[in-house]
Structure 1
Amino acid sequence: MARMFYRYSAMNAGKSTYLLQVAHNYNENGSDVFLLTSALDGRDGYGVISSRIGLRREAVTYTPNTNFNELLKEVSVACVLVDEAQFLSFEQVQQLHRWVHIRGIPVMCFGIRSDFQGKPFPGSAALLTLADDLEEIRTVCTCGKRATMNIRTDENGERVRQGEQVMIGGNSRYRQVCGKCFYS
């Protein structure tokens, strides 16, 4: 039976590397995958999933208006892999979840749970509710404890506590932290 997977973590845990490794494994076994990434993420070019260690693959981009029922209607692959899944809407997660169980093809989503203020992203909240299999990808805070939260910094490296949930501009303005450092 196919399942929907959600692999989540704080920033800088290797989610995209993990996704690209899964894609590679399917391809090495002669199976095709369908790669998706958010149009909001253009750090390394739009329609690209890339990792900080240099791995990269082309992907189809999705927007808040993407209808996955239509997009995946004719797709015939072994697995669908979704990067930056926190940017999905609740309705899009429902569409993907339904697609998994109707088509019998797994979907693996990768993303962060919460923003720099500790608030959930809609896609993450939906995935934590609907995914059939959850796994935390662990990373470490600078203090050495398990990082589960994210903070945003300004151009001077000072912590930012207010602002839009999504800031286009990339990883360099975000850090992963433990709960204690988040509240300090």
Structure 2
Amino acid sequence: MILKIARMGHPVLKTIAAPVEDPTAPEIEHLVSDMIETMEDATGAGLAAPQVHVPLRVVIFHVPRGRDVAESSEDEIGLTVLINPEIEPMGEEKEAGYEGCLSIPTMTGKVSRYSKIKYRGYGLDGELIEREATGFHARVVQHECDHLDGILYPQRMDDMGSFGYVEEMQKAASQD
């Protein structure tokens, strides 16, 4: 079932999500199934449970093949479900890049994120998932996990001058 996506300003997006007690619980599997359908319908790269009005520490994401090749030489990362995720930066280096969000439709802004991270969390089978990520992969994991702590990407922006409507930002970039 396609779920309603909470938009910036809704209280659920400002709260810290609760840990999931049992990643294998049927209600978590049902939630994830609905989140996948919702993300695909909205053509997003990721989705966090608070974005669909469920304050639990669950995120889903994928990295399409060829996405931001300049940022990352990684191949496609298939659909990943992370329950109770944790992120650890691997160094202090950050990269600035434009981000969008299903909770802030039609907007974009430049955000600095750690260039390389380690992350871990649990899958629907209860098994631990541990990976390293760079480029867009690292960016999408950090972005989705921010939702679990009540943070939207504009709160991470250093320069609000880079925040605007996608259509207007594209027009301005093409005129430069």
TM-score, normalising length: structure 2: 0.26
Higher RCO (Cα < 8 Å, 6 or more apart): 1
TM-score, normalising length: structure 1: 0.25
